[in-house]
């Protein structure tokens, strides 16, 4: 959950009194808690704006979620670094726990990336180098977290596990801060992740993280590599229309060269692809090492970016942004605060609570039935694959994807399917096949409330739900299996996606063209699809 202002905050009709704080606007809400723009009042006109994260009341008595919330507060409070948003207060009021963080006037990096395409050419040209400076700051902030030690000087082995543009906050003062240590791992955590449970946004998780292997600080280095790739191309790297496809893209599919989508200097591309090495031993050993390499690359290119440069760029990119963010807490001072109550709870917060409770009830239902009840997210419009194609206006929380598939989902953000709270999902990776990850089973017994919130669920192609929909639509599944490598699959001139993989096609006879990635002639295969059925197509790649 972000403590940062995000696009489209919900202003409360009047400040709501909560303990010694006044809640002024809702910034974000997820499965575990809600973040408010708030202020602490004191004698003599003292007033301090804060971002206050309050755990949902229905979770406050759950030992598991309380332990996770306490872990976040303890970890963030111990990290003292200008590029990490720490915790300045922690306590209990009105029957629920809260933690307070500095209220930073800024925007999430995800919002900044979406904004770039709508700016004048000069600001667009400057952004790649500005983004490198922001990632360097993130490297230093994460390095401080990774180096956190106990009273005896022993490393706590902190790993953020949820590094993404939504959790990197760019201030109007030009400084970047890493936020949200809600799913971070550390040696002294009260709550330990169970075997097979994956924390974080899947599109940014390291391969070893998705495969339930031990992770260390190099998992955060991978995530930074994904963030930098997306900043330089302004496209999504791994996000696919289904959870299984996303996992397969992270763990097995070739990583597209940056040059396919943008003009990126070789010096920067080398840094990105070392961070994105699937072998942790071949990545940068530390986040600081990655930041130093990125700084050296900028030096070779003759670019020097300072906090003042970032601040000036942000002011030009968001002319009224600072005023709007400051007004969230300062614009309601003259309004008499009301006491917190069920009636005073913001409508969106109440809705989140109801959705989370609905998710708790649904967890008792079988996996297939659960997904059938919840439905799937609608597909986005076709994605432009040409590097020179303009980035079209997309819903808040979305960004174009760097693949040739035709229906991709948006970027993580508070207004998209995934929230800034980094919904954690549990996957039984032992049941997964690299060629059929689209049908991966979810271990619902280990889901937390964030993953059970229908508003924050990622979409997966569950066997039962897919079969039910296939029968209703008069369609079936085609699974394309290759003898080796990867390929694109076409139906006529329409590219269906990547193989190995599965595709839903209308019932009837079709001719598929399988085109190996790289060199090689395409292979045609005839297939007959039966309503609700499944057929396997084996293709030998020479």
- 512 Cβ partners below 8 Å, 6+ apart? 478, 480, 489, 490, 491, 496, 524, 525, 526, 527, 537
Pairing of strands 338-339, 523-529: unpaired
Q: Name residues whose C-beta falls within 8 Å of residue 439's C-beta, 6 or more positions apart in sequence.
A: 244, 461, 462, 463, 466, 502
Instruction: Name residues whose C-beta falls within 8 Å of residue 50's C-beta, 6 or more positions apart in sequence.
Output: 21, 38, 39, 40, 88, 89, 100, 101, 102, 103
> Starting from the edge strand earliest in sequence, which strands make up the sheet with 501-506, in order?
501-506, 475-482, 534-539
Question: Which tokens sit at 269?
Answer: 């591309």
From CA 263, how far away is CA 322, in angstroms rounded? Answer: 32
* Nearest-angstrom CA–CA distance, 331 and 24: 9
- Tokens matching residue 500: 């190995």
Which phi and psi (to 5°) does residue 347 adopt? -55, -40
Instruction: Return the axis-axis angle of helices 347-362 and 367-374, rounded to nearest 10°.
Output: 150
Closest to 271 in 3D by CA, of 443, 408, 132, 174: 132
The catalytic residue among 62, 71, 89, 162 is 162
Contact in structure between 408 and 401 (CB atoms under 8 Å): yes
294/270 Cα distance (integer angstroms): 9
The C-alpha atoms of residue 207 and residue 345 are separated, in whole angstroms, by 40
Run of H or E residues at 238: none
> Coil, strand or helix: which one is 17?
strand
* Residues in contact with 23: Cβ distance below 8 Å, sequence separation at least 6, in sequence order: 12, 15, 16, 17, 36, 37, 38, 52, 340
Strand ranges in 220-295 using DSSP code E only, listed in sequence order: 235-236
**23 within 8 A of 52, measured Cβ to Cβ:** yes
Q: Which of 101, 106, 179, 80 is nearest to 138 (CA)?
A: 179
Structure tokens at 536: 């396997």
Active site residue 137: no
> How many residues would you count in the chain?
542
State yes or no: cis peptide before 72, omega within 30 of 0: no
| DSSP conformation class of 271 | H
Bridge partners (DSSP) listed for residue 22: 17, 39
Q: Which residues are catalytic?
A: 162
């Amino acid at each position: 959950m972000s403590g940062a202002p995000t696009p489209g905050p919900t202003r409360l009709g009047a400040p709501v009194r909560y303990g010694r704080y006044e809640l002024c606007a809702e910034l974000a809400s997820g499965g575990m808690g809600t973040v408010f723009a708030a202020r602490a009042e004191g004698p003599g006109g003292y007033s301090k704006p804060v971002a206050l994260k309050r755990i949902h009341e229905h979770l406050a008595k759950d030992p598991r979620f309380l332990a996770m919330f306490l872990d976040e507060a303890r970890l963030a409070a111990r990290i003292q670094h200008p590029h990490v948003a720490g915790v300045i207060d922690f306590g209990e009021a009105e029957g629920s726990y809260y933690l307070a963080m500095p209220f930073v006037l800024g925007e999430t990096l995800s919002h900044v990336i979406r904004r770039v395409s709508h700016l004048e050419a000069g600001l667009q040209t400057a952004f790649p180098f500005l983004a490198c400076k922001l990632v360097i700051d993130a490297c230093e902030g994460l390095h401080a977290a990774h180096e956190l030690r106990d009273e005896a000087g022993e490393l706590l082995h902190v790993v953020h596990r949820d590094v993404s543009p939504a959790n990197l906050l760019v201030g109007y003062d030009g400084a970047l801060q890493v936020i949200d240590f809600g799913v971070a791992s550390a040696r002294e955590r009260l709550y330990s992740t169970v075997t097979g449970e994956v924390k974080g946004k899947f599109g940014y998780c390291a391969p070893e993280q998705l495969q339930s292997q031990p992770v260390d600080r190099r998992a955060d280095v991978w995530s930074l590599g994904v963030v930098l790739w997306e900043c330089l191309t302004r496209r999504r790297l791994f996000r696919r229309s289904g959870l299984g496809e996303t996992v397969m893209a992270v763990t097995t599919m070739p990583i597209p060269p940056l040059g396919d989508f943008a003009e990126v200097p070789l010096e920067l591309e080398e840094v990105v692809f070392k961070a994105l090495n699937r072998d942790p031993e071949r990545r940068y050993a530390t986040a600081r090492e990655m930041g130093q390499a990125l700084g050296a690359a900028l030096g070779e290119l003759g670019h020097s970016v300072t906090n003042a440069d970032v601040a000036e760029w942000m002011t030009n990119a968001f002319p009224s942004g600072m005023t709007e963010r400051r007004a969230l807490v300062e614009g309601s001072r003259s309004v008499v605060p009301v006491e917190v109550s069920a009636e005073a709870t913001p409508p969106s917060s109440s809705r989140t609570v109801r959705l989370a409770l609905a998710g708790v009830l649904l967890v008792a239902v079988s996996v297939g039935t659960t997904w059938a009840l919840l439905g799937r997210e609608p597909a986005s419009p076709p994605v432009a694959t040409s590097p020179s194609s303009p980035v079209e206006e997309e819903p808040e929380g979305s960004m174009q994807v760097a693949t040739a598939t035709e229906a991709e989902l948006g970027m993580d953000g508070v207004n998209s399917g995934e929230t800034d709270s980094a919904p954690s999902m549990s996957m039984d990776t032992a049941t997964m096949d690299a060629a059929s990850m689209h049908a991966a089973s979810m271990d619902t017994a280990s889901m937390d409330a964030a993953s059970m919130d229908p508003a924050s669920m990622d979409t997966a192609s569950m066997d039962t739900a897919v079969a039910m929909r296939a029968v209703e639509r008069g369609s079936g599944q085609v699974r394309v299996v290759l003898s080796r490598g990867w390929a694109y699959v076409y139906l006529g001139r329409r590219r269906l996606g990547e193989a190995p993989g599965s595709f839903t096609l209308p019932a009837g006879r079709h001719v598929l063209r399988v085109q190996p990635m790289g060199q090689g002639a395409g292979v045609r295969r005839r297939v007959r699809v039966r309503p609700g059925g499944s057929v396997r197509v084996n293709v030998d790649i020479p």
